[in-house]
Amino acid sequence: MNAKEIIARRAALEPSDNNLINLGIGLPTMIANFVPADVEIVLQSENGILGVGPKPAPGEGDWHIYDAGGGLVTVKPGAMFFDSAYSFSLIRGGHVDITFLGALQVDEQGNLASWMVPGRRVTGMGGAMDLVVGAKRVVITMEHTQKGTPKLLAACTYPLTAVGVVDRIITELAVIDVTPKGFVVRELAEGVTFKDVCDVTDAPLIPDDQILKMRLAGVDNREDDRC
């Protein structure tokens, strides 16, 4: 299982039944594939859909129905369409239960840098600033490092997307929460030690009282789950 799939399978365990979820472009879109069958979630696409379904078969689909990445989608029964003002009323108003998105950097104050690398081409923040400020819970799903360079830092150095908004970070190595004391490691992936994670993190890490083995959706997690 590659890093992205580990991250997506772990993230898929976050939603509760009937949660309204927004998935960022890229890795986060994989999460929907792994959400357990007994958990019903409603996917929002910020361009104007509640109740996004799977992609249509190739050559099918209606071009009036697409998601925030510009890809055609289908909708589930009971789906709703709306304009951008209503969409961001839902987002800013705290009606989205979890927003999953990638990041360039996250720091121990929960600051998030996800939209701009200084010196590289700037593309704009889209709806990301609104989502991370407005959603009840912000879960960052990303590989632990950028080709070896730590992305979890004591303080972000890139321009911020928002201040103090990140609740949880899920990487292929660990599940880490942002707390008033700093980063707390809650879960470690199979075969990964606390020291392994510290070695690729540029901020102090606090081990949880009882670190668990990282659970993965669709994978047998019944064995002893202490690390």
Partner 1 sequence: MDKVVSAAQAVSHIRSGDVLLIGGFLQWGTPETLLKALLERDVHDLTVVSNDTGTGETATICLMQQGMVSRIKSTYIGANSHSGQMLIEDPASVELIPQGTLAERIRAGGAGLGGALVEVGLGTVAAEGKPTLEIDGKTYLIERPLRGNVALIYATVCDKAGNCFMKGSTKNFNVIMPLSADIVLVEAESIVDVGELDSELIHVPGVLVDYVCQREDV
The residues binding partner 1 (CB under 8 A) are 17-18, 20, 40, 42, 45-51, 62-70, 75, 77-85, 87-95, 111, 116, 121-130, 133-134, 159-163
Instruction: Decide if 187 is catalytic.
Output: no
The one-character DSSP state at 54 is: P
Q: From CA 178, how far away is CA 222, in angstroms rounded?
A: 27
Catalytic residue among 5, 14, 40, 46: 46
Nearer to partner 1, 93 or 180 (CB): 93
CB of 29 to partner 1, least distance (A): 15
Nearer to partner 1, 91 or 173 (CB): 91
CB of 214 to partner 1, least distance (A): 29
Q: From CA 177, how far away is CA 32, in angstroms rounded?
A: 22
Contact 44, 52 (CB under 8 A): yes
Q: From CA 98, how far away is CA 134, in angstroms rounded?
A: 10
* C-alpha atoms less than 13 angstroms from C-alpha of 177 in its C-beta half-sphere: 11
Nearer to partner 1, 11 or 131 (CB): 131
CB of 124 to partner 1, least distance (A): 4
Q: Which two tokens stand for residue 201?
A: 């993190």
Active site residues: 46
